[in-house]
A and B are shown apart, each in its own frame.
Chain A
Amino acid sequence: MLDGVRNLALGFWTVLRHAGQPATTVPYPEVKRDLPAAFRGRHRLYRHADGLERCIGCELCAGACPSSAIYVQAADNDQAHPVSTGERYAEVYEINMIRCIFCGFCEEACPVDAIRLGPEYELADFERGSFVYTKDMLLDPEKFAPARQYHADVDEKDPELRREIPVDEDLGEVYRQHRPLG
């Protein structure tokens, strides 16, 4: 009985004590939590420092995608004006963000590190059409992503964006084979 009263009092005190702590929640739209570096948000296609696209249109990402959200249509590079560093490039590259489950398998499958999942997660919109991302949107979301789905402050935090990727960065056997132009 006395023990029970003591425990009761302890419980009440514990609850009261917590009132002094700063809240663990944040007023969300104004304050956003820092995301872990490995957060898998919206995809982004990357370019080499010389402006050539990294994507070589191999479609491995589309094959790895468990929800068949990625569609890639490759075309041969014009040797005089190459789009990518490989023999071929992605003429059409689309991700259906309604299907995407943000598993990051595309990122893992990519032999040339062309696609990465970034920190952007506020992707709500009103029309289905605005969830099918074209290659432009993925390469330059600053310019082409739907306005509602692009937030400069979030994208700024992407460490990948500031990283200078050397042109001749060794990415393995497949990558070397696909650099006949370099």
Chain B
Amino acid sequence: MSELLVQVVGSLVVIVALLTGMAYMTWFERRVISRLQVRIGPNRVGPTGLAQPIADALKLFFKEDVQPSMADRFLYPLAPGISLVAALAAFAVIPVGPMLTIGGQSINLIIQDLPVAVLYLVGISSIGVYGVVLGGWSSGSKYSLLGALRGSAQVVSYELVLGLALVGVVLVSGTMSVAQIVDEQSHFGPLVILQPLGFLLYFIAAIAETNRAPFDLPEAEQELVAGYHTEYSGFRFALYYIAEYVNVLTVSAIAATLFFGGWLAPFGLLNGPWWLLIKMAFFAFVFVWLRATLPRLRYDQLMRLGWGLLLPLALLNVLVTAVLVVALSTNG
């Protein structure tokens, strides 16, 4: 009973933290990208625009929820929810800190320490695609459909790379539990040292999975209006928006946890959740930096990069890692 309570409370805390984090991720992105583009950025609502996310949320809450007459009655309202749930659910297996002891009871700072957590992460990220695909298809609009088509093709291509990049991590650490992977890293240092190529591949594929620039073809505003969420307005649009930014946070957290030791502190400093936050903030910055720097890929370039370069590299990475792991473990 008390374990269930801890899990429920933990989930609520994580969800609230993610939603708050997402709100300030939008603020962070807009401020940072305006610095990179030599602008000032939002500075009207609150000091340095800090209340801007609240104003945005209020605006989206009070907007009309328009449903196109050609839209699918059942799937159209459902699709944004799928996106958001998938985005939030991925965080369940990410440990945010070391074991905590309160009043004689030890609390694991992870919602559910799944033994197949890595598999779960890959699976959840594929479910998130349904939000994009169904949203685009059920809108009954050509732009939405084209966006959804691109989204599905892109995710199918890059999911392979994403999965294979994580296979390297699993091979090296010998476990699929994220908590244990972090544990391994406390002994041998961050996995990025052993898996630099794996990390690079993971990060590129993760950007494509989150539909962020330069892989934002599914919502390319110059050609597809807004891609799969063209027809969405009001709070359903906000759900997509939230999902995108929660995904950025989640992907940053996964990168930080699997490759950079999560809440483990570098150089023997004090361990704690703040290190996960610092690492996530760094990756969030990289996401914004990428968006400020790179132009969007053309569709054929996207496919060539995914299948022609990243997938062979990922396979090579798995092969070399597997051979080395076997060779070293039999010798040692």
- How long is the Cα–Cα vector from A15 to B289 in the complex, in angstroms? 8
Give which listed residue, A12, A23, A26, A27, contacts B38 with CB less than 8 A. Answer: A23
Hey, which chain B residues are within 8 Å of A16, CB to CB?
36, 289
- CB neighbors of A among B7-53 (8 A): 32, 34-40, 43
Alpha-carbon distance between A144 and B38 when the two chains are bound, in angstroms: 41
Residues of A within 8 A of B67 (CB): none
Task: Write the nearest CB–CB distance from B35 to chain A, whole angstroms.
Answer: 5
Residue of B38, B289, B292 most packed against chain A (CB within 10 A) = B38
A15-B36, A18-B38, A19-B35 known; A27 and B43 CB under 8 Å?
yes
Q: Which residue of A lies closest to B39 (CB)?
A: A25
Question: Are the CB atoms of A18 and B37 closer together than 8 Å?
Answer: yes
- Which of B32, B43, B289 gathers most chain A CB within 10 Å? B289
How far does the Cβ of A4 sit from chain B's closest Cβ, in whole Å? 11
Residues of A contacting B: mostly: loop
Closest to B293 in A: A15
A27 to B310, CA, bound (A): 44
Taking CB atoms, residues of chain B closer than 8 Å to A22 are 38
Q: Mark A15-44, 1 if CB is under 8 A from B, else 0.
A: 110110111111100000000000000000
How far apart sit A16 and B36, CA to CA, in the bound complex (Å)?
A: 6
Collect the chain B residues with CB atoms within 8 Å of residue A19's CB.
Answer: 32, 35-36
Q: Which of A19, A21, A25 has most B Cβ within 10 Å?
A: A19
Contact partners of A24 in chain B: CB under 8 A: 38-39
Complex: A49 Cα to B255 Cα, angstroms: 75
Residue of B nearest to A1 (CB): B309
**Chain A minimum-CB-distance residue to B35:** A19
Q: What is the total number of residues of chain A having a CB less than 8 Å from a CB of chain B?
A: 13
Q: Does A11 contact B (CB under 8 A)?
A: yes
B293 / chain A contacts, CB cutoff of 8 Å: 11-12, 15
Give the residue among B32, B34, B35 with the most A Cβ atoms within 10 A. Answer: B35
- Bound-state CA distance A15–B43 (Å) is 22
B189 nearest CB across to chain A (Å) = 25
Contacts of B294 in A (CB 8 A): 11
Q: Cβ of B39: which chain A residues have Cβ within 8 Å of it?
A: 23-25
> B40 touching A23 by the CB < 8 A rule?
yes
Q: What's the Cα separation between A149 and B39 when bound, in Å?
A: 28
A18-B34 Cα distance, complex, nearest whole Å = 10
Q: Is the CB of A12 within 8 A of B289?
A: yes
What residues of chain A lie closer than 8 Å to B35, measured between beta carbons?
A: 19, 23
Within 8 A of A (CB), among B281-295: 289, 292-294
In the complex, what residues of A have CB within 8 A of residue B37's CB? 18
Q: Please give the distance in Å from A30's CB to the nearest CB on chain B.
A: 10
Q: Report how far A26 CA is from B289 CA in the complex, Å.
A: 23
Please, which residues of chain A bring their CB within 8 A of the CB of B38? 18, 21-25
Query: Which residues on the B side are within 8 Å of A15 (C-beta)?
Result: 36, 289, 292-293
User: With A and B bound together, what is the CA distance between A55 and B36 in angstroms?
Assistant: 52
> What CA separation (Å) do A18 and B33 show in the bound complex?
11
Tell me, rounded to whole Å, the shortest Cβ–Cβ distance linking A153 to chain B: 21
Q: Which B residues are closer than 8 A to A by beta carbons? A: 32, 34-40, 43, 289, 292-294
Q: Would you give 22 A-B contacts (Cβ < 8 Å), ordered by A?
A: A11-B294, A12-B289, A15-B36, A15-B293, A16-B36, A16-B289, A18-B36, A18-B38, A19-B32, A19-B35, A19-B36, A22-B38, A23-B34, A23-B35, A23-B39, A23-B40, A24-B38, A25-B38, A25-B39, A25-B40, A26-B40, A27-B43
A15-B289, A27-B43 known, 13 other contacts, Cβ within 8 Å: A12-B293, A15-B36, A15-B293, A23-B35, A23-B38, A23-B39, A23-B40, A24-B38, A24-B39, A25-B38, A25-B39, A25-B40, A27-B40
* Residues of A near any B CB (own CB < 8 A): 11-12, 15-16, 18-19, 21-27
- Top 6 nearest A-B pairs by Cβ distance? A15-B293, A19-B35, A23-B40, A25-B39, A24-B38, A19-B36
